[in-house]
Amino acid sequence: MRLWTLHPKYLDAKGLVALWREALLAQKVLRGETRGYQYHPQLLRFAGTNNPPAALAAYLKAVHEEAGQRGYKFDGSKIGRGRFHGSLEETRGQLFYEWRHLRRKLKKRDPKKLRELNSVKNPVPHPMFRIVPGAVRGWEKLK
C-alpha cells in the first residue's frame, strides 16, 4: 500500500488507478470495516488525526479530482462523507524519497510519463499535505 505524499498529477495511469484502490482500502481500514492492514505504516499519518476516515476522504477527493481531469470515471460515491479541514504535515525528505521512488517505477513502467516529468525539479505534494523540513519517515522501507 502506498498513499503518496506526491500530488497525484505525477502518477501514470496504472499508478493513479492503484492509488485509488489502495486509498479506498485504507478508508475501509480506518472505518473498522476490515481487519487487514490495521497497522500499516502508510496509515499512521491519517490515524493520528481527530477524524481518520474524514482525513482519508479528503485525500481521496483530490485523487478523484485528478482522475476526472484525465477523463477517468472513478466512482466518487465511494468516498466517505466526513469533512476534514486543514492539512497534514509531511517532511521534505519523505516527499523527495517518494519522487525518486516514482521515477524509478516510471523508468520501467511508463518511460513517456517519466520524460514528461524530467523538467520538474521541485515536485508539489498532494493538496492535503504541508511540507516541513525533515528526513524520510522512519516507517518507510528504504531501498
Query: Of 78, 24, 27, which is closest to residue 51 (Cα–Cα)?
Result: 27
Quote the CA–CA distance of 33 and 26 in Å, as a whole number: 10
The boundaries of the domain holding residue 93 are 8-132
Give me the number of domains the chain comprises: 1
| CA 78 from centre of chain | 17
**Positions in the chain whose pLDDT score sits under 50:** none
pLDDT of residue 115: 96
**Segment 67-84, tens digit of pLDDT:** 999 999 999 999 998 888
Is 66 part of a structural domain of the chain? yes
Quote the CA–CA distance of 36 and 27 in Å, as a whole number: 12
Q: Can you read off the three cell numbers belonging to residue 27?
A: 478508508
Is 140 part of a structural domain of the chain? no
pLDDT of residue 82: 80
Quote the CA–CA distance of 10 and 140 in Å, as a whole number: 20
pLDDT of residue 83: 86
Is 72 part of a structural domain of the chain? yes
